[in-house]
Every structure is written in structure tokens, then in C-alpha cells.
Amino acid sequence: MIDLGQLPPEGVSVDGRTGTLDLGDGTALRQATWQVRVMPSDADFFLEVKGSATWEGGCSRCLEPLDLALTVESQFLGSRDKELAEGGSHALGSQDLDVVFLPEPILDEEALAREHFLLHAPMHPLCREDCKGLCPQCGKNWNKGPCSCHPELVKEPGALAKALSGLKLNLEDA
């Protein structure tokens, strides 16, 4: 915990390590290491979060298990001033920094690091750029070879695409 009311002029830097962090949805971080730096900047605080971890989850197309190296690095301004924080960003020197509202005088550096790992966790990770995904008919992983489904069936637009094209026609009729 960092006491923002007792911050020395040169600031504070805290290193940490979090074993395994379960992110929900079957994904997790392993071997997360991080560093949180806080420096006073007038009435506000300059914050820096750096970290690295191994993200464990699955390919969003073929669902095969997947490990990715995840790095986090961000700088922002923390403020006790709610109005400044609601303003969005604030210029500090040559940098335009996001402002985060810090209502509490005590900063939980581990929670802050965890939040930044979550923000940087991949949303649609792929095992490889050209992952072919799964056959929508039989569920076979096309990276491991073609299936015996009819290609016409596979190419047929999904229910949503059909519904959308129907909607478009109705609009044109009106």
C-alpha cells in the first residue's frame, strides 16, 4: 500500500509479483511481475505501471489452448480532484496524460497493477494470424485439415446475415 499523503518528493516505486491471477472466462495470468511508480506532481500524482506476465487462454477462433506474452506499460495522472479527473486528460510537460480519480489517500499498488493487466489482456487472441477456425457444421479444427462437410453448406451465410438482408429488403419496400 502506498500512502499518498506521505509521499517523498522523489516519489515511491514498488515492485511486486503475483503468482497466478485468474481473470475469469477460463483465462489466467502466470508469473506476473510489475512495478508501480508514484511521484507527486503539484497536488496530483504521476503514476506509472509496468509489468509482464504470461497470459493463458484459448484461440478465439479454433479454441486451442494458447499462451501469450503480455506486457503492460502505462503512464497517467492520478488526482484527488474529481472535476479534473472527469475532464479526461491533462497536459503534463510534453505529455497528454489520462487522469484517473483517486478518492482514497492510500493506493493499493497490487490492485492497480491487476487492473492494468486486465485492460491489456487480449480480447480476440489468435493462435496464429491465419487460423482457419472450426467448421460451423461439424466443429472440426480446419488447421488440422479439411472436413468432409459440403463446402456450399459452410459458405452459406449465417442466420444473422440472412436476417439482416431481409431487414434491408423490408426497408427498401417501405
Q: How far apart are CA 72 and CA 121, in angstroms?
A: 9
Residue 165 binds to Zn ion (criterion: CB under 5 A): no
Secondary structure of residue 24 in the 3-state scheme: strand
Which grid cell is 136? 460451423
Q: Which residues touch 139 (CB under 8 Å, ≥6 apart)?
A: none
CB of 33 to Zn ion, least distance (A): 28
Nearer to Zn ion, 84 or 154 (CB): 154
Identify residues 20-59 at the interface with Zn ion (CB under 5 A): 59
Judged by CB under 5 A, how many residues of this single chain contact Zn ion? 11
Tell which one of 36, 61, 70, 79 touches Zn ion (CB under 5 A): 61
Which grid cell is 138? 461439424
Q: How far apart are CA 59 and CA 132, in angstroms?
A: 11
Identify residues 93-152 at the interface with Zn ion (CB under 5 A): 127, 131, 135, 137-138, 140, 147, 149
CA 174 to chain centre: 43
Nearer to Zn ion, 60 or 75 (CB): 60
Which residues of the shown chain bind Zn ion in the complex (CB under 5 A)?
59, 61-62, 127, 131, 135, 137-138, 140, 147, 149
